[in-house]
């Protein structure tokens, strides 16, 4: 009987430690964010190195109350101008998030398959991605609209752990309250493509190579 008892104790310890480990290892976040104009961007990064990322994000009505604790809102790379209303989302790594959060940066790298970066979208939920190498991964969001825009997001950086339920609302805006279309010029230049081991990031297309709206930054 003593050996059975010891086995039982070991088993109980194993369950406790596994549960503890599982809870501790989860890296998920969710919240509602407000970006009041095109000069501000928002990003959230994994708390430790990871090789996994999956998220869902959606524009929410102006009545939604911002409650995000995990991410950072700051002056950031200014998006170009588009005729559609929506948000631009970029899966990236720590390097890309820092480039994004620099209002003077002419461009930033992002992972095309983890982004809705070609046109503003009302929502975005790319397929989860698992990379061969671990690094700090991030989600960055731009508001390309001429008005305050709010969004709800939910993200998991832990393989096998689904992101928390996304806060959704009955109706969401599909345009700015006022319909003035600012006339701005953009310049699109062919971009370079960066490929690392396991993590493949591209810098191209419509976002990171569009001149700042201010026009102050030569590429």
Ligand X SMILES: *[C@@H]1O[C@H](CO)[C@@H](O)[C@H](O)[C@H]1NC(C)=O
Q: Which of these, 205, 187, 94, 83, lies nearest to 140 by C-alpha position? A: 94
Total residues at the site for ligand X (CB under 6 A)? 18
Q: Which of 51, 95, 172, 186 binds ligand X (CB under 6 A)?
A: 95
The yes or no reply on residue 48 touching ligand X (CB under 6 A) is: no
Q: Which of these, 117, 114, 103, 97, lies nearest to 208 by C-alpha position? A: 117
Q: Which of 28, 73, 125, 128 binds ligand X (CB under 6 A)?
A: 73
Q: Tell me the per-residue interface mask from 8 to 47 with ligand X, x by CB under 6 A, - otherwise.
A: ----------------------------x---x-------
Which residue is at the shortest CB distance from ligand X?
196
**Residue with tokens 């832990």, as numbered in its chain:** 158
Q: Which of these, 62, 11, 60, lies nearest to 31 by C-alpha position? A: 60
The yes or no reply on residue 98 touching ligand X (CB under 6 A) is: no
Q: Which of 61, 198, 215, 216 binds ligand X (CB under 6 A)?
A: 198
Minimal distance, residue 185 CB to ligand X, in Å: 25
Q: Cα(10)–Cα(87) distance, rounded to whole angstroms?
A: 51
The yes or no reply on residue 138 touching ligand X (CB under 6 A) is: no
Q: What is the DSSP-derived secondary structure letter of residue 131?
A: E
The yes or no reply on residue 134 touching ligand X (CB under 6 A) is: no
The yes or no reply on residue 132 touching ligand X (CB under 6 A) is: yes
User: Please, is 117 exposed, middle or buried when counting C-beta atoms within 10 Å of its C-beta (0-12, 13-18, 19+)?
Assistant: buried
Residues at the site binding ligand X, with contacts judged by CB under 6 A: 36, 40, 73, 93-95, 109, 113, 129, 132, 135-136, 194, 196-199, 201
């Amino acid at each position: 009987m003593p050996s059975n008892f010891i086995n039982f104790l070991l088993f109980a310890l194993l369950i406790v430690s596994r549960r503890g480990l599982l809870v501790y290892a989860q890296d998920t976040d969710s919240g509602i964010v407000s970006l009041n104009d095109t000069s501000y961007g928002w990003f959230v990064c994994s708390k430790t190195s990871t090789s996994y990322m999956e998220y869902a994000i959606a524009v929410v009505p102006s009545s939604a109350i911002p409650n995000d604790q995990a991410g950072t809102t700051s002056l950031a790379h200014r998006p170009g101008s588009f005729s559609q209303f929506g948000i631009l989302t970029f899966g990236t790594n720590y390097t890309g998030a820092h480039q994004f959060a620099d209002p003077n940066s002419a461009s930033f790298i992002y992972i095309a398959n983890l982004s809705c970066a070609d046109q503003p979208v009302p929502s975005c939920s790319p397929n989860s991605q698992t990379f061969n190498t671990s690094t700090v991964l991030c989600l960055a969001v731009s508001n390309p609209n001429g008005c305050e825009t709010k969004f709800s997001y939910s993200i998991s950086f832990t393989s096998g752990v689904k992101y928390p339920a996304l806060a959704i609302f009955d109706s969401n805006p599909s345009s700015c309250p006022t319909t003035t279309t600012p006339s701005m010029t953009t310049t699109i230049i062919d971009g370079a493509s960066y490929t690392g081991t396991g993590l493949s990031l591209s810098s191209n297309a419509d976002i990171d190579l569009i001149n700042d709206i201010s026009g102050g930054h030569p590429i």
